[in-house]
Amino acid sequence: MPLPLQPERSVVTVCAYCGVGCGLEAQTRAGRIVRMLPWKEGKSNHGHSCVKGRFAYDYYHAPDRVRTPLIRDSIDQPWREASWDEAIAFTAQGLRGVQQRHGVRSIGAVSSSRCTNEEIYLTQKLARAVFGNNNIDNCARICHSPTQFGLSATIGAGAASQHFDSILQADVILVVGANPTEGHPVFGSLLKRRVRQGATLLVIDPRRTETVSSPHCQATVHLALRPGTNVLVLNSVAHVIVTEGLYREAFVRERCEWPEFERWQALVSDPRYAPEVAGPEAGLDPEAIRTLARRYAAGPNSAIYYGLGVTEHSQGSTGVMCLGNLALACGMLGREGVGVNPLRGQGNVQGGSCLGSWPHVYSGYRFVSDPEVRASFEAGWGVALDPEPGLRLPNMFDAAVGGDFRGMFIMGEDPVQSDPNQNHVIAAMRNMEFVVLQDLYRNETSKYAHVLLPGSSALEKDGTFTNAERRVSRVRQVVPPLAGLQDWEVVVRLMNAMGYATQYRDAGEVLLELASLTPAYSGLSFELLERVGSAQWPVDAKAPEGTEVLHLERFPRANGLGTFMLTGYVPTTERSSERYPLLLTTGRILTQYNAGTQTRRSANSQWHPEDVLEISAADAIARGIRDGEQVQVSSRFGSTQLKAVYSQRVNPGVVYTTFHHAESRVNALTSDRSDWATNCPEYKVTAVEVLRVAAPAGVSAASTQASEVLA
Ligand code: SF4
């Protein structure tokens, strides 16, 4: 007789949270998960995991899971339970009805980085082959879309150049706008291990994060720049490298476009980027910029890791290009221990990017406007395809407010909570005639939906995820889907109900189809992954078991050379002012994950029951704010209330919060400014004022006695 917690079965799968993509062994008993253990064979985690992967799995059987399809004719009506057949027919009629009334391009779809590669592929196929347009986007739009654009422009591939273990060969580690010890903990531990072994750690981040300073890991240089000045500071670093002759000319001449290097060299040599000029503008000591530049250029192996602190800016793509430029100039690509590596937030955000969930490219980042590429998909899918790029997610919302875009299929996303300028998103939702949401729970977006289809969690389905190091791993079904269908099966049913006849035996057959149409995934199959465990793309005839390090001999550009992009600094128009004198920036903590949808339905909630506002004691005292007091945070776009906590991690003039709780309404504050190239929102810079909730209107903090606060 087994003991109560003794497992009857175990299944190896992938963590559903961050982009590290840890292999986990799920142990079950009587159809329920009793334990989640880090998998020793996992190539991205080697038997380690963090508190999210290990403990935050209870969400899958939370009492408020959506267990049956719900439908209604208008959003002011109560929900009505429906069978799968009725709900799918209702959905198909609703979406087709919008198209009949308003045109083929009046609807679109959004996919999620929490879904599998197979589901993401099928969702973009739904938009293209069944809706008949390219109105498809995904949540990478609001996080790492600048990575795709900026790295493709410089080094030809919008993905990590290395595998995680490559950091163990790095002599210098430059972390920009990321906090891996909280956001990507297992990789963060590897980074700390390398620093303890003697590598130099350089960090550029407005906040003194745990990565900057903890008992076992200290950065040699920390540039606590003013939010919004990334490009200025990175150009200043480049200025030092160029003007002090620290670049590797032999590498640039052999592997890069030399005339573009000369143009870039001229740009960053401009005196405005000299540390003595740029440093004070960014709130930095010029000598610290010089030290960081010299250490990075000296290597011999220097590796860059970066996160949303680079991408979520009005110059997000420019910031990514700055990093590509630096690595090329210093010859830090094409071997172990170097490279440029985006730390992807969600478990499958790399897959979401690779598999065509963009309005302008098919899977493998190939343009919908390219007749040859389009013909290959038309042959594969058996339909004529729209050659015009579709709408990006923010443009869908704009068009909805304007009345041209009237229906949406949203898979596993909560844009009302997650996207910037919440009031605008709500106006867009209200204006649409037919919104379909497929999700695990009711959420902020479901308030505006006409159909709510039960989603299946990563624990309930088969497929693959692609992690931040391009590693494709098997997601295996641990427990049956609570509502009976995996997400990919629902999409296939919807395709058929909308008149596109198609069937797949299982998720493995979907992978084979996407592999046949996606060169970098062409060698992938469930069989291969059973045999080798996981594989980093490209997986193809040349590399049948995958590719750990990219750019060994050439860059994937037409001439094989890397190039330098001009990265002039254009300050964001979101600036502090007399009325909004502080700059708000955001981030994550270890125990929670993104909007908290899953982690808040687990015991991890005990560790982070609410989001708080970190504020320097100087700014707090000047406003009469006590430590732990509730405050009103207001921006030009909205306001919310948070608990203020004195913090030495932020400089005066900067405040910081996490965004794991919907009640915090942090996105009520954020602007609709976005990256010039990709529309990635400028989440990381919002001018705000913070006042005591109790303070009478119009009484500024300066008038409140500091002595009262300190009493
Ligand atoms: Fe690994 Fe990230 Fe999951 Fe933690 S959240 S277990 S680091 S994949």
31 belongs to a structural domain: yes
- Give the CATH number of the domain where residue 293 resides: 3.40.228.10
Q: Provide the pLDDT for residue 596.
A: 66
Nearest to 598 by CA among 36, 56, 26, 54: 56
Q: Provide the pLDDT for residue 347.
A: 76
Q: How confident is the model at residue 159 (pLDDT cuts 50, 70, 90)?
A: confident
Q: How confident is the model at residue 595 (pLDDT cuts 50, 70, 90)?
A: low
Q: Which of 342, 367, 395 is the endpoint of a domain?
A: 342
**Pair (169, 287) in one structural domain:** yes
Closest Cα to atom 3, ligand 1: which residue?
53
For residue 243, give every residue at least 6 positions away whose Cβ sits within 8 Å of its Cβ, in sequence order, or none: 269, 274
230 belongs to a structural domain: yes
Average pLDDT over residues 282-308: 97
> How many structural domains is the chain composed of?
4
- 480: CA distance to ligand 1 center in Å? 23
Three-state DSSP at 341 gives: strand
Q: Which helix (H) or strand (E) holds 431?
A: helix 422-431
359 belongs to a structural domain: no
% residues pLDDT > 90 (the chain): 74
Closest Cα to atom 1, ligand 1: which residue?
22
Q: How confident is the model at residue 699 (pLDDT cuts 50, 70, 90)?
A: very low
4 belongs to a structural domain: no
Q: Provide the pLDDT for residue 671.
A: 79
DSSP state of 445: G
Nearest to 433 by CA among 72, 190, 150, 30: 72
% residues pLDDT > 70 (the chain): 94
In DSSP terms, 80 is beta-bridged to: 71
**Pair (530, 588) in one structural domain:** no
Of the listed ranges 357-366, 392-401, 483-492, 581-590, the least confidently predicted one is 581-590
Q: Is the pLDDT of residue 597 over 80?
A: no
Host domain of residue 381: 70-138+376-536
Nearest to 534 by CA among 478, 477, 479, 475: 475
215 belongs to a structural domain: yes
- 596: CA distance to ligand 1 center in Å? 15
As a whole number of angstroms, the distance between CA 451 and CA 437 comes to 6
Helices and strands: H and E segment counts in the chain = 23, 28
- 51: CA distance to ligand 1 center in Å? 8
Q: Is the pLDDT of residue 436 over 60?
A: yes
**Pair (123, 212) in one structural domain:** no
**Pair (313, 416) in one structural domain:** no
Q: Which helix (H) or strand (E) holds 533?
A: none
Q: Which of 283, 317, 342 is the endpoint of a domain?
A: 342
**Residue 337: CA atoms inside 13 Å, Cβ hemisphere, count?**
14
Of the listed ranges 156-160, 617-621, 667-671, the least confidently predicted one is 667-671
Average pLDDT over residues 282-296: 98
25 belongs to a structural domain: yes
- 531: tokens are 């045999």
Three-state DSSP at 567 gives: coil
556 belongs to a structural domain: no
Q: Is the pLDDT of residue 2 over 70?
A: no
- 190: CA distance to ligand 1 center in Å? 13
**Pair (133, 149) in one structural domain:** no
Q: How confident is the model at residue 520 (pLDDT cuts 50, 70, 90)?
A: very high
- 23: CA distance to ligand 1 center in Å? 9
Three-state DSSP at 422 gives: helix
Q: In this predicted model, which residue has the larger pLDDT, 262 or 602?
A: 262
Q: Which helix (H) or strand (E) holds 153?
A: helix 145-155
Give the residue, out of 15, 592, 604, with the most ligand 1 atoms within 8 A of its beta carbon, to mutate for a pocket test.
15
Q: What is the pLDDT of residues 68-125, one digit of tens each?
A: 999 999 999 999 999 999 999 999 999 999 999 999 999 999 998 889 999 999 999 9
- 17: CA distance to ligand 1 center in Å? 6
Average pLDDT over residues 608-633: 91
Q: Is the pLDDT of residue 27 over 60?
A: yes
Nearest to 137 by CA among 521, 515, 678: 678
The percent of the chain in helix, strand and coil, each rounded to the nearest 5, is 35, 20, 45
Decide: 21 in ligand 1 pocket, CB within 6 A: yes
DSSP 639-672: EEEEEEEE-SSS-TTEEEEE---GGG-GGGT--S
**Pair (185, 334) in one structural domain:** yes
- How far are the Cα atoms of 100, 136, 399, 497, 501 from residue 383, in angstroms, in the given order? 19, 17, 27, 16, 11
Q: How confident is the model at residue 283 (pLDDT cuts 50, 70, 90)?
A: very high
Decide: 590 in ligand 1 pocket, CB within 6 A: no
Q: Provide the pLDDT for residue 700.
A: 43
For residue 127, give every residue at least 6 positions away whose Cβ sits within 8 Å of its Cβ, in sequence order, or none: 108, 109, 133, 134, 135, 136, 390, 409
**Pair (400, 510) in one structural domain:** yes
Q: Provide the pLDDT for residue 4.
A: 59
Decide: 36 in ligand 1 pocket, CB within 6 A: no
- 48: CA distance to ligand 1 center in Å? 9
Q: Is the pLDDT of residue 694 over 80?
A: no
Of the listed ranges 432-446, 550-564, 650-664, the least confidently predicted one is 650-664
Of the listed ranges 110-124, 208-222, 311-325, 586-600, the least confidently predicted one is 586-600
Q: Which atom of ligand 1 is nearest to the CA of 467?
A: 8
**Pair (424, 336) in one structural domain:** no
pTM: 0.90
**Pair (642, 705) in one structural domain:** yes
Q: Which atom of ligand 1 is nearest to the CA of 54?
A: 6
**Pair (516, 598) in one structural domain:** no
Give the residue, out of 13, 14, 17, with the most ligand 1 atoms within 8 A of its beta carbon, to mutate for a pocket test.
17
- Give the CATH number of the domain where residue 78 resides: 3.40.50.740
Closest Cα to atom 4, ligand 1: which residue?
50
Q: Is the pLDDT of residue 46 over 70?
A: yes
Decide: 17 in ligand 1 pocket, CB within 6 A: yes
Decide: 23 in ligand 1 pocket, CB within 6 A: no
DSSP 59-117: GGG-TTB--S-EE-SSTTSPPEE--HHHHHHHHHHHHHHHHHHH-GGGEEEEE-TTS-H
Q: Provide the pLDDT for residue 705.
A: 33
Of the listed ranges 193-197, 315-319, 602-606, the least confidently predicted one is 602-606
- Give the CATH number of the domain where residue 706 resides: 2.40.40.20
Q: In this predicted model, which residue has the larger pLDDT, 516 or 597?
A: 516
**Pair (130, 154) in one structural domain:** no
Q: What is the pLDDT of residues 223-237, one digit of tens each?
A: 999 999 999 999 999
C-alpha 75: how far from chain center? 30
Average pLDDT over residues 567-596: 84
Decide: 529 in ligand 1 pocket, CB within 6 A: no
Average pLDDT over residues 687-697: 79
**Pair (250, 187) in one structural domain:** yes
As a whole number of angstroms, the distance between CA 457 and CA 435 comes to 21
Q: How confident is the model at residue 590 (pLDDT cuts 50, 70, 90)?
A: low
551 belongs to a structural domain: no
Tokens 């009492």 locate to: 63
Nearest to 436 by CA among 66, 62, 64: 66
Closest Cα to atom 2, ligand 1: which residue?
18
- 309: CA distance to ligand 1 center in Å? 20
Q: Is the pLDDT of residue 707 over 50?
A: no
Q: Which of 61, 84, 101 is the endpoint of a domain?
A: 61
Q: How confident is the model at residue 591 (pLDDT cuts 50, 70, 90)?
A: low
- Give the CATH number of the domain where residue 31 resides: 2.20.25.90
Average pLDDT over residues 17-30: 92
Q: Which atom of ligand 1 is nearest to the CA of 45?
A: 1
| DSSP collapsed to 3 states, 226-287 | CCCCHHHHHHHHHHHHHHCCCCCHHHHHHHECHHHHHHHHHHHCCHHHCHHHHHHHHCCCHH
As a whole number of angstroms, the distance between CA 497 and CA 493 comes to 6
- 21: CA distance to ligand 1 center in Å? 6
Q: What is the pLDDT of residues 174-187, one digit of tens each?
A: 999 999 998 899 99
In DSSP terms, 632 is beta-bridged to: 641, 691
Q: Is the pLDDT of residue 295 over 90?
A: yes
